Amino acid sequence: QPQLAESGGGQVQPGGSLRVSCAASEFTLDYYAIYWFREAPGKEREGVSCISRSGGSTDYVDSVKGRFTISRDNAKNTVYLQMNDLKHEDTAVYYCAAQRGTHCWYYDYNNMDYWGKGTLVTVSL
């Protein structure tokens, strides 16, 4: 059964860094644009970043631009989100999602083909 699995979450101090990973099993990510969403306590799930099928195009929500970097290694069937200069407001469960297609489109969480179960990132002293 096709699955996505996030890993790499944890607790970090403000200003610190984490890299979260999204690994696919039972299917190849080669045919999918990959999105990262996050859901903070009491808030709606929001789109954070996206990478196109080839990796040639990326997108970021304004609040993380310049701090987060999305990348993919299709040979490892894995997508990464490098998060630097983390802030309290980055605290959330981070989810990856796959959407079949070449390009990133809207952060429409109702229009994804596969979801992971999430990994918790906590930014605190």
pLDDT of residue 89: 97
Per-position DSSP letters for the chain, written without gaps between them: --EEEEE--EEE-TT--EEEEEEEESS-GGGEEEEEEEE-TTS--EEEEEE-SSSS-EEE-GGGTTTEEEEEETTTTEEEEEE-S--GGG-EEEEEEEEESSS-----TTS-SEE---EEEEE--
- Provide the token pair at 92: 């959330």
The predicted-structure confidence for 66-119, as pLDDT tens digits, reads as follows 999 999 999 999 999 999 999 999 999 999 999 999 999 889 989 999 999 999
pLDDT of residue 105: 86
pLDDT of residue 6: 98
The type of residue at 105 is W
| d(C-alpha 99, C-alpha 83), whole Å | 22
The predicted-structure confidence for 32-55, as pLDDT tens digits, reads as follows 999 999 999 999 999 999 999 999
The type of residue at 11 is Q
| d(C-alpha 124, C-alpha 40), whole Å | 14
The predicted-structure confidence for 6-22, as pLDDT tens digits, reads as follows 999 999 999 999 999 99
